[in-house]
Amino acid sequence: MRWPGLLEAYKEYLPVTKDTPKLTLNEGNTPLIKLERLSIEWGVELYVKVEGANPTGSFKDRGMVMAVAKAVEEGSKTVICASTGNTSAAAAAYAARAGLKCIIVIPEGKIAMGKLAQAMMYGAEIISIEGNFDQALKMVRNISKTEPITLVNSVNPYRLEGQKTAAFEICDQLGTAPDILAIPVGNAGNISAYWKGFKEYAETKETGLPRMFGFEASGAAALVHNRVFENPETIATAIRIGNPASWNLAVTAVEESNGQFDEVTDEEIVSAYKKLASSEGVFAEPASCASIAGVFKSLKNGRIPKGTKIVAVLTGNGLKDPDTAINSSLIKPVQLPNDEKVVAEHIQGVVLN
Ligand code: F0G
Q: What pLDDT, in 10s, does the model give residues 199-245? A: 999 999 999 999 999 999 999 999 999 999 999 999 999 999 999 99
Nearest residue (CA) to ligand 1, atom 10: 186
Tell which one of 194, 239, 263 to mutate to probe ligand 1, the residue whose CB is within 8 A of the most ligand atoms.
239
Q: State yes or no: pLDDT of 86 exceeds 90.
A: yes
Q: Which atom of ligand 1 is nearest to the CA of 320?
A: 3
What's the pLDDT at 353? 78
First to last CA, the chain: 46
Nearest residue (CA) to ligand 1, atom 6: 238
Nearest to 314 by CA among 349, 281, 343: 281
Nearest residue (CA) to ligand 1, atom 15: 238
CB atoms within 10 A of CB 336: 11
Ligand 1 centroid to residue 74 C-alpha, Å: 26
Sheet holding 180-184, edge to edge: 32-34, 45-50, 309-314, 180-184, 211-217, 260-264
Distance CA 112, CA 212 (A): 28
Contact call for residues 234 and 219 (beta carbons, < 8 A): yes
Average pLDDT over residues 295-314: 98
Ligand 1 centroid to residue 10 C-alpha, Å: 23
Q: Which atom of ligand 1 is nearest to the CA of 163?
A: 13
Distance CA 333, CA 305 (A): 41
Vertex 234: Cα angle to 179 and 325 (nearest 5): 85
Average pLDDT over residues 305-325: 98
pLDDT in tens, 27-49: 999 999 999 999 999 999 999 99
What's the pLDDT at 14? 98
pLDDT in tens, 254-287: 999 999 999 999 999 999 999 999 999 999 999 9
Q: State yes or no: pLDDT of 352 exceeds 90.
A: no
What's the pLDDT at 144? 98
Ligand 1 centroid to residue 248 C-alpha, Å: 17
Ligand 1 centroid to residue 187 C-alpha, Å: 6
What's the pLDDT at 194? 99
How sure is the predictor about 184, in pLDDT bands with cuts at 50, 70 and 90? very high
Ligand 1 centroid to residue 8 C-alpha, Å: 25
The whole-model pTM stands at: 0.98
Burial of 118 (0-12, 13-18, 19+ CB in 10 A): buried
Task: Give this complex's ipTM.
Answer: 0.99
Nearest to 51 by CA among 170, 179, 221: 170
Q: State yes or no: pLDDT of 94 exceeds 90.
A: yes
Tell which one of 134, 140, 187 to mutate to probe ligand 1, the residue whose CB is within 8 A of the most ligand atoms.
187
Ligand 1 centroid to residue 238 C-alpha, Å: 5
Nearest residue (CA) to ligand 1, atom 4: 238
Q: State yes or no: pLDDT of 103 exceeds 90.
A: yes
Q: Rounded to whole angstroms, what are the CA distances from 187 to 15, 134, 244, 327? A: 23, 9, 4, 26
How sure is the predictor about 306, in pLDDT bands with cuts at 50, 70 and 90? very high
Ligand 1 lining (C-beta closer than 6 Å): 58, 60, 83-87, 154, 184-190, 238-239, 285, 287-288, 315-316
Average pLDDT, the chain: 98
What's the pLDDT at 111? 97
Ligand 1 centroid to residue 84 C-alpha, Å: 7
